[in-house]
Amino acid sequence: MSNNPNSGSQNILVLGAGELGMAVMRELSAQASGAKVSVLLRASAIDTQDPSRLAQLSELQALGIETLAGDIATDTVSELAALFAAFDTLINCVGFAAGPGTQTKLTQAAIESGVQRYFPWQFGVDYDVIGFGSAQDTFDEQLHVRNLLRAQQRIEWVIVSTGMFTSFLFEPSFGVVDLANSTVHALGDWDTRLTITTPEDIGLLTAAIVFKQPRFVNRIVYVAGDTITYGQLADVVETALGRKINRVQWSVPMLRTELAKRPDDQLSKYRLVFAEGRGVAWDKAGTFNAQEQIDVVTLEQWVAGHLGS
């Protein structure tokens, strides 16, 4: 590991080019100040004729981001480690959709590679507070990742805790905001809090954290676009729509009963975890963006831009 306090952000590899990966890369490119940024993509995604893929590759090229071929699903830990070893900073933007075991595999590869700094896929809730055995069993792997990182001294790590993606709060399938029926559902009760941040702001803040000096080392950095209650959510949606909305509480006991009926339903697991209210919210005043006075999108601003007339 380099002893240069200013090193560690000159040669950056991003894993994944989905919604969050692209947001992070746009901001890394904007803030890079001489750093080189690359992205790991499957060979088939680089050598492609798919119009949407070609448009993405064109944007990456315009941003000055190089592509590197690799496959997180089929490459071994050692093969991935060999790819990672050429970089100073590794930012994992490969989410839960990659499947169980992926986050552990990527963390093991990062440690084996000796990359100076690793930002794992932890862009979400405070898993330490939630703990093992929660309703959302995928969270247990996130805790295993934290334990792996804390148990070693080979590489530095930084976790960026963001809360829920703001847009997910409004996903029809999630059911919290039901615009078709002019209804807002409270997970838990109307005073239950949650922290939300837009993917664009996560990209902005992650890049700022990457380049921050003196750098963050082996710690969790909290960010927040907003921290709200479901009562505040209902008020903001009602104001934006300009009409009365229905307010329906989904209590913890009710959500537990619903999950028992559909124990494999991922959305039911998420609803219960957020209803329980542990580890899903923190005060915005204590966040990195508040301390650095970085403007981010609040709930009211997001709603005005997406639901307002």
Q: CA-to-CA distance for 11 and 229, rounded, in angstroms?
A: 40
Average the pLDDT over 206-235 and give the result. 97
Q: What angle do CA 16, 281, 19 make, to 5 degrees?
A: 20
- CA distance from start to end of the chain: 54
* Residues β-bridged to residue 178: 183
173 burial level (CB within 10 Å; 0-12, 13-18, 19+): exposed
- Checking if the pLDDT of 187 tops 60, the result is yes
For residue 84, what are its two tokens? 């990672």
- Checking if the pLDDT of 279 tops 50, the result is yes
pTM: 0.93
- pLDDT averaged over every residue in the chain: 93
The full DSSP string for 251-297 is: -HHHHHHHHHHSTT-HHHHHHHHHHH-SSS---GGGSHHHHTT----
Q: How confident is the model at residue 3 (pLDDT cuts 50, 70, 90)?
A: very low
183-187 sheet: strands from edge to edge: 177-178, 183-187, 246-250
